[in-house]
Amino acid sequence: MSENESRKRNRSPRRGARRSKRTMQRRNPLDDWEPLTHLGKMVKAGQITSIEEILRNNYVIKEKEILDFLIPNLKEEVIDIKMVQKQTDAGEQSRFKCSVVVGNEDGFVGLYSSKNKEVGPGIRKAIAKAKLSMIPVKRGCGSWECNCGGNHSIPFETSGKMGSVRVTLKPAPKGTGLACSDTAKLVLRLAGITDVWTVTKGNTKSRTNMAKAVFNALENMYKVMTAKDWGA
């Protein structure tokens, strides 16, 4: 064995040990979070432990770290990225419009579109804004074919719109799946809905308007109170 080969063998474990130390030293970014609002300070101090408590008291969330702290298993999906142009005095200004949906697949979902000169910062900005626009999703089993009492579908029919797109969501029995377009599936899956029927009208090829119409339909469900909401 040559002298160079013996040196390489002796170096390899040292490098591996350095890498393992670096991975162990990685900290949670929420540990360095310094809240700027009163609500953030209450969450960081442990006085508020659930997102339901915030919604019940009508608190306004202004820091995305609050959602990361209370809902740690959030997932993001990019819906659409397209280039838009604006005419200015200096000429045409091109930017990227990024649409992102965020949810925990268990009753909370958010959606937002942002514009930026670069794709990366535009996606990060859309994710941060989508977390601040998260809404609770009213789930249930409103299908007469199932009537299992679970939370796999929606409790009743609801409609939403955005631009020329009109979407109607209908309860479906367990095992039906998401009978809708791929764009609507992203929003419904992150909202925690697994079975639903949809009826769509308008220019459904617009992915952003399609996603916002589905989001509007989920939001409109809280305009109707069911017997369960009254405590019956």
pLDDT tens-digit map of 7-40: 555 555 555 555 544 544 556 667 778 888 999 9
Strands lying side by side in the sheet with 75-88: 75-88, 91-103, 108-116, 135-136
Angle between helices 207-220 and 182-191 (to 10 degrees): 40
- Contacts for 172 with CB less than 8 Å, ≥ 6 apart: 143, 146, 153, 179, 195, 196, 197
Which CATH fold topology does 158-223 show?
Ribosomal Protein S5; domain 2 (3.30.230)
- Supply the mean pLDDT for the chain: 86
Cα angle 137-140-145, degrees, rounded to a multiple of 5: 145
User: How many angstroms separate the CA atoms of 36 and 12, rounded?
Assistant: 46
Q: What is the largest CA-CA distance in the chain?
A: 83
Answer yes or no: is pLDDT of 5 > 70.
Answer: no
Question: Which has more confidence, 9 or 115?
Answer: 115
Q: pLDDT value at position 1?
A: 53
Residues 121-178 have pLDDT tens digits of 999 999 999 999 999 999 988 888 888 888 899 999 999 999 999 999 999 999 999 9
Alpha-carbon distance values, 1 to 11, 14, 20, 164 (Å): 16, 20, 29, 75
Question: Which has more confidence, 3 or 62?
Answer: 62
- Contacts for 68 with CB less than 8 Å, ≥ 6 apart: 30, 74, 131
| Domain range summary for the chain, segments of one domain joined by + | 34-70, 158-223
- Retrieve residue 70's tokens: 């209370």
Residues 56-83 have pLDDT tens digits of 888 899 999 999 889 888 999 999 999 9
Beta bridge pairs of residue 108: 136
User: H/E element holding 179?
Assistant: strand 178-179
